[in-house]
Amino acid sequence: MKLFGLIAVIIVGALLLSATGDFPDFGDPQSPASASPLSTHYIEGSVYETKVPNLVTAVLADYRGFDTMFETVVIFVAGIGIIAVLRAFGTPAAELPEGGGEEGDDDLIIRTTCNLVFPVIQVFALYVVAHGHHSPGGGFQGGVMLGASYILLALSCGLPAAKRRLGERQTIVLAAIGVIVFAGWGVACVLFGGNFLDYAALDPIIPGDVQMARSHSMLGVEIGVAFTVTAIMFVIYANLSTRGRLRDGL
Amino acid sequence: MIWQFDIIILIFMVVTAVIALRVKDLLAASMVFGIYSFLICLLWAEMGAVDVAFTEATVGAGVSTVIMVATVFSTRRRSKD
């Protein structure tokens, strides 16, 4: 069986390696991905149409906003699935595994360092969310960093300390609010006479011209994404590390 | 894009991928996966895809590693196969 696996790997690997010769060169302007009129339109027109210097965010949050909305829904559903599978409601305390860390036996150095780093991470995460359409970053990255800051707090000061700041009920509400913000932004566009997630329709209620309406709308939906991702990352960690009991974590 | 830099990163990536498969200690395998993620993040940043590199650094190297370590602590630490 091992020999068969080795032969299969060698054959598939040789096929893949021989296929890489057909790839276009790195940065080749004549490659099918670069030469299509759609990508030319994005590269040349997105700054004038949306006033967003970061092309990636313009494509993700505006031109393909529908796609990103359902990515957010995927993350939301993943978190709900984790809760449905792992969360153990009402398990007796006697079944807890031995060696679960109690609060209070932590190292002073770890606690102090994490308390110093925690606000810095959070401020930087908020900057990444808020500045995502002008520099690399955006809702996903900023949301993951914000969730990671709570995970750091749970690792250093114990899960109860993190749960005091981001409780279980709050996380689920926050995750739902994120999806509602994104979808609601699209519905608002419909109410103002445009298509779903056609941000230019929001021009009457957002200050600035049509381009700024699209730019500000991108910020709005990115904030929605960040809400969902923050909450779901913390939910996944909290449920995985405590086997769904949400106490006595790592 | 500097090809010498690419070669070095790609060699390290292959080495870390093989280590992650071969090592018996699951905690060490998760750590090596984190290193692998950082290397691929470095490769993407060097190729100019900074947004993807940022996502890989936060999701792949950061949160995924923590989640895998958390999962390893709920199972046995050493792999049988």
Kindly report, residue by residue over A190-245, the tens digit of the pLDDT: 999 888 988 888 888 888 888 888 899 999 999 999 999 999 999 999 888 887 77
Is residue A31 situated within a structural domain?
no
A230–chain B Cβ distance below 8 A for any pair: no
Q: Which secondary-structure segment (H or E) carries A41?
A: helix A37-50
A79–chain B Cβ distance below 8 A for any pair: no
Give the chain B residue nearest A236 (alpha carbons). Answer: B67
- As for how many domains chain A has, the answer is 1
Residues 6 or more apart whose CB falls under 8 angstroms from that of A140 comprise A225, A226, A229, B55, B58, B59
- A187 or A94: whose pLDDT is higher? A187
How many C-beta neighbours within 10 Å does residue A6 have?
10
Task: Report the C-alpha gap between B75 and B62 in whole angstroms.
Answer: 21
Q: Are B39 and B9 in contact (CB under 8 A)?
A: yes
Residues 6 or more apart whose CB falls under 8 angstroms from that of A65 comprise A186, A197, A199, A221
Select the residue of B50, B63, B74 nearest A147 (Cβ to Cβ): B63
Is residue A84 situated within a structural domain?
yes
pLDDT above 90 as % of chain A: 41
Range of the domain at A184: 68-88+107-250
HSE, CB side, 13 Å, CA atoms: give it for residue B32.
Answer: 18
Is residue A39 situated within a structural domain?
no
Select the residue of A140, A233, A249 nearest B55 (Cβ to Cβ): A140
Task: Report the C-alpha gap between A121 and A123 in whole angstroms.
Answer: 6
ipTM of the shown complex: 0.86
Put simply, the chain B residues between 7 and 36 with a CB less than 8 A from any chain A CB are: none
Q: What is the mean pLDDT of chain A?
A: 86
Q: Are B27 and B69 in contact (CB under 8 A)?
A: yes
Look up residue B51 and give its DSSP letter.
Answer: H
Is residue A102 situated within a structural domain?
no
